[in-house]
Amino acid sequence: MPLVLNEEQNMLKDAAKDFCTNSTPISQLRGLRDDTSETGFDTDTWQQMVELGWAGITIPEDFGGLGFGYLGMGVVMEECGRTLTASPLLATAVLGAGAILHGGSDELKGELLPQVAGGELLLALAVEETPHHNPYGATTTAEKSGDGYKVTGSKKFVLDGHVANKIVVVARTSGNAGDRDGLTLVLVDSGAGVNVTRTIMADSRNAANIEFSGVQGVLLGEEGKGADVLDKVLDAGRILLSAEMLGGVQECFERTVEYLKVREQFGVPIGSFQGLKHRAAQMFCEVELSKSVVLEALSSLDDDSEQVGELASLAKARLNDTYNLVSSEGVQMHGGIGMTDEYEIGFFMKRSRVCEHSLGNSAFHRDRYGVIQGY
Amino acid sequence: MTALDEFRLETRSWLAANCPASMRVSVPEDQIVGGGKRQVYENPEAKIWLDNMASKGWTAPTWPSEYGGGGLSKDEFLVLQDEMMRINARAPISGMGFSMIGPTLLDYGTEEQKREHLPKIVSGEIRWCQGYSEPGAGSDLASLQTKCEDKGDHYSVNGQKVWTSGAQYADWIYTLVRTEPQAPKHEGISFVLIDMAQPGVTVKPILLISGNSPFCETFFDDATVRKDGLVGQLNRGWTVGKRLLQHERSSISGLSSGGKKGRYDDMGKLSNIAVEYIGKDSGKLADPALRDAVIQNELNQRAFGLTQQRSMAESDKGETATFATSMFKYYGSETGKERLELQLKAMGTQSLGWEGQDFGDNERTLTRTWLRSKAGSIAGGSSEIQLNIIAKRVLGLPD
């Protein structure tokens, strides 16, 4: 846990910053929203990201990736977060690829992971069945059938579920909703027996509600022990999403501080008022602490540390709260103009709340942290 | 094996041989060694431990060895800290000599000043205190009025300082004084070193809400300062004084443990205490609202500790980055206060004992510590002053 980036990671960060600033500014997201794009992301941009190697950053070289690790993926996600870049990176390269990497046979990995790294295959992870994150809450069933399993049930809020070619479904082979035992992960093709309804969310990004009617798929991990793979995948997702949120937090905060310096009222810049200065300074502290927890959590993934779970919850709880604070204060401190659609600051607020409810809100993660700590 | 690994092994075996057994338990507040001529060692092993560490220069591990310090690199220092924590060895000595005036003399002192003062801090022979605040100069420190006049072969000081922590135990005091009354307030201040063993210096302890007297009033009546007791240039003491405040803020924020230990963790982990007094229900602390608040505080402490470690990792010398000092002072003191408030909630009426047998030692100590903690966000520049500094120096917001 070095808590600082090495030279290669810094170079990747600079490259990602250049790319996002020039190729995916927030105006791109606005355009996708206004043009009601079918994919919700720009396919040419995604192809460029793939060519930069981003889809395979965490995929081992043996399977066609870069094997560059989670800190590397983290700095890319962070820069994407600054410009609210819409892309399938989290759902495909982190969640979906992670499930295959941790749960797939060598044969399956050899077949699918190079396709992920090459940008030919889009993936999604179908976990939720209710409006709240509940990783062990599956009632969707999986039944042994021939070489694989048949999946029946319905899932909500499947990130990028509307574009995925294949979907990792968290299903149940035994036990009751809430039980960690009895969960089974099944990889299914998005096609016959899979009814996908795209949901349009406030952040203009992508999710889907999906009905599975007895669709046949292949097992990832062990039957009934899916939670072992699921926990790893979710923790990586939580940490990488926290990295994206960290980018949004910093951009939103910097824009707000800049506005405090230029907006004048009563004949002076509003940033000269102590009532705003102190709130800005308090946010600065929260932002600095957020940087540290994300770095530590990313390092723990690279080290395959035993503390990944608690650090994922530490990072996600903190970034949920900090992003919420900074984006709320961002709108408030911008005043009336912060309420307009024309101005970009409101985009951060919308993205922050969707992120907050993805992969566990703060109450979920505080509770989980306490449980891991034994109280 | 790398040189650092070798250093670790040597350090481990040296500590095993030289750290007395009774120095390997958490230190009760009333047995913290501050050194100086008035120091009484209730436990003789505390003196042995101090002398052993001082002989290596490890009471001030990163100070140059020509001034008695350990001359350790940042990485060696971290190894020493690690190894001490591994056997739960307590700090042999602490105080303002180490955390404040020493580092300031290293930055601004003359060669003679370093040679005169630093070795006596390292050995524990001389204890220092700080003369900054005055009755009329608190948050507005630069309005201080204590007067210092040039008398030819010496300076003469008249005035009053307040909140001088530990003045009743100290041998020397470093002080901000006014040497040019006509100049703008920041430009007429000097930084001087005063020997307190003289008739012109009087110390009066102040009883605080905690029932203790860690602070004093210190009076100067024609107190003498040697000509070579001026640190930095005449009338440029504000620069020196501000640098020293950064060291003070680092120490109040609990930075000294390198972010590996919370400020009040010597009292026990907050969650363990809560479980002890409230109990569990289905494996979780039985008061769900308090549980959520305790977890939040522990998460904040952990994020804070990681940020201290990150700040040290980013700096070459293992020191806090300048910009970060006010953040650590603000966040560390506020999070620490919150921790103690939560501990009160966890322990209920057992947390408010003042004296007598109805309360354990730990319980009575908590009451005092809780009250004492309120000074954390006042002393060394209040939380509000730290937020002003962050707004101005870090964020660049206008005056």
H/E element, B289: helix B288-314
Model pLDDT, residue B263? 75
What is the distance of C-alpha A345 from the center of its chain? 20
Confidence of residue A3 (pLDDT cuts 50, 70, 90): confident
What Å distances lie between residue B343 and A229, A314, A370, B350, CA to CA? Answer: 38, 21, 16, 10
Give the separation between CA B225 and CA A326, rounded to whole angstroms.
51
Architecture in CATH of A228-372: Up-down Bundle (1.20)
List the single residue in A280, A288, A375 with the smallest CB-CB distance to B391.
Answer: A280
First to last CA, chain A: 26
Active site residues of B: 248
H/E element, B340: helix B324-347
Model pLDDT, residue A28? 97
**Structure tokens belonging to residue B84:** 């001490």
C-alpha distance from B39 to closest chain A C-alpha (Å): 39
Q: Which residue carries 């109805």 as its tokens?
A: B358
Q: Which residue carries 């800190």 as its tokens?
A: A71
Q: What angle do CA B38, B70, B239 make, to 5 degrees?
A: 75
Contact A2 B313 (CB under 8 A): yes
Contact in structure between A29 and A85 (CB atoms under 8 Å): yes
DSSP assignment letter at B27: P
| Nearest C-alpha neighbor of B56 from the set B97, B107, B9, B15 | B15
Contact in structure between B387 and A277 (CB atoms under 8 Å): yes
Partners of residue A274 in chain B, C-beta under 8 Å = 388
Contact A271 B397 (CB under 8 A): yes
Model pLDDT, residue A78? 98
Q: Closest residue of A to B312, CA-based?
A: A3
Contact A318 B299 (CB under 8 A): yes
List residues of chain B with CB under 8 Å from any CB of chain A.
Answer: 271-272, 274-275, 280, 283-285, 291-292, 294-296, 298-300, 302-304, 306-307, 309-310, 313-314, 324, 327, 330-331, 384, 386-388, 390-392, 394-399
Partners of residue A375 in chain B, C-beta under 8 Å = 271-272, 274-275, 280, 283-285, 291, 294
Residue B126 backbone phi and psi in degrees, to 5: -120, 135
Q: Closest residue of B to A271, CA-based?
A: B397
Contact A277 B300 (CB under 8 A): no
Give the separation between CA A184 and CA A301, rounded to whole angstroms.
23
Beta bridge partners of B137: B134
Q: Does A314 touch chain B (CB under 8 A)?
A: yes
Q: Which CATH class is domain A7-117?
A: mainly alpha
Contact A289 B303 (CB under 8 A): yes
What Å distances lie between residue B295 and A155, A303, B73, B273, B381, CA to CA? Answer: 31, 25, 36, 13, 29
Contact B398 A373 (CB under 8 A): no
Find which of A284, A286, A318 to mutate to test the B interface (most B CBs within 10 Å of its CB).
Answer: A284
ipTM score: 0.95
Contact B291 A373 (CB under 8 A): no
Model pLDDT, residue B204? 96
CB pairs A-B closer than 8 Å = 119
Contact B299 A289 (CB under 8 A): no
Give the separation between CA B166 and CA B188, rounded to whole angstroms.
27
Q: Does A373 touch chain B (CB under 8 A)?
A: yes
Model pLDDT, residue B259? 66
Contact B303 A290 (CB under 8 A): yes
Q: Closest residue of B to A278, CA-based?
A: B387
**Structure tokens belonging to residue A324:** 């919420």
| Nearest C-alpha neighbor of B327 from the set B272, B271, B261, B381 | B381
Find which of B310, B377, B382, B399 to mutate to test the A interface (most A CBs within 10 Å of its CB).
Answer: B310
Q: Does A11 touch chain B (CB under 8 A)?
A: no
Name the residue ranges covered by the structural domains of chain A. Answer: 7-117, 123-224, 228-372
pLDDT at A258 over 80: yes
Mean pLDDT of all residues in A60-87: 97
List the single residue in A3, A4, A318 with the smallest CB-CB distance to B303.
Answer: A318
List the single residue in B299, B300, B313 with the smallest CB-CB distance to A4.
Answer: B313
Q: Is A178 left (phi over 0), alpha (psi -120 to 50) or beta?
A: left
Confidence of residue A25 (pLDDT cuts 50, 70, 90): very high
Model pLDDT, residue B28? 75
Give the separation between CA A235 and CA A312, rounded to whole angstroms.
6
CATH number, span A123-224: 2.40.110.10
Q: Does A249 touch chain B (CB under 8 A)?
A: no
List the single residue in B272, B299, B330 with the smallest CB-CB distance to A314.
Answer: B299
Contact B395 A281 (CB under 8 A): yes
Contact A375 B395 (CB under 8 A): no
Model pLDDT, residue B25? 87
Contact B387 A277 (CB under 8 A): yes
Contact in structure between B390 and B326 (CB atoms under 8 Å): yes
List the single residue in A272, A367, A374 with the smallest CB-CB distance to B397.
Answer: A272
Give the separation between CA A330 and CA A352, rounded to whole angstroms.
12
Q: Does A191 touch chain B (CB under 8 A)?
A: no
| Nearest C-alpha neighbor of B93 from the set B147, B34, B133 | B34
Contact A314 B302 (CB under 8 A): yes
Which parts of chain B sit beneath pLDDT 70? 251-260, 316-323
List, in order of start, the domains of chain B with CATH numbers: 3-94 (1.10.540), 128-236 (2.40.110.10), 253-394 (1.20.140.10)
In sequence order, what are the residues at sequence separation of 6 or more whose Cβ sits closer than 8 angstroms to the Cβ of residue A191? none
Partners of residue A364 in chain B, C-beta under 8 Å = none
C-alpha distance from A186 to closest chain B C-alpha (Å): 32
Confidence of residue A74 (pLDDT cuts 50, 70, 90): very high
